[in-house]
Amino acid sequence: MEIRYPGIKQTIGMLALIVLFQAVAGAVLGILANVLHVPADTTLIGGLANTFAFGFFILRSKKFLKEPFTQRFPLPPFDWRYLVIGSILMVGLSIVLSELDNLTRVVLPMPEFFQNIYGSLFQSEGGFVSSFFTLCIVAPITEELFFRGLVLRGFLSRMAKTKAILLSALLFSLIHLSPWQLIGPFIIGSIFAVIYIETQSLLPTILLHSLFNFLPLLVMSVLKVSIPGYSVTEYSVVEFQPLWFDLLGLFLVGIALVLYRMFFAPKAPSPISGGTDGTEGKNAPSSSSS
Q: Is residue 283 part of a domain?
A: no
88 within some domain: yes
Show the domain range for 186: 73-263
pTM summary value: 0.88
Does any domain span residue 65?
A: no
- pLDDT tens-digit profile of 30-76? 999 888 888 878 889 999 999 999 999 999 998 888 778 888 899 99
In a domain, 48, yes or no: no
Residue 180 included in any domain = yes
Number of domains in the chain: 1
pLDDT band at 269 (very low <50, low <70, confident <90, very high): low
Non-local CB neighbours of 228 within 8 Å, separated by 6+ positions = 239, 240, 241, 242
CA triplet 203, 139, 75: central angle to 5 degrees? 15
> Do the domain assignments include residue 22?
no
Q: Is the pLDDT of residue 280 over 60?
A: no
Domain assignment of residue 229, yes or no:
yes
pLDDT tens digits, 163-215: 999 999 999 999 988 888 889 999 999 999 999 999 999 999 999 999 999 99
Closest CA to 248 of 83, 82, 93, 84: 93
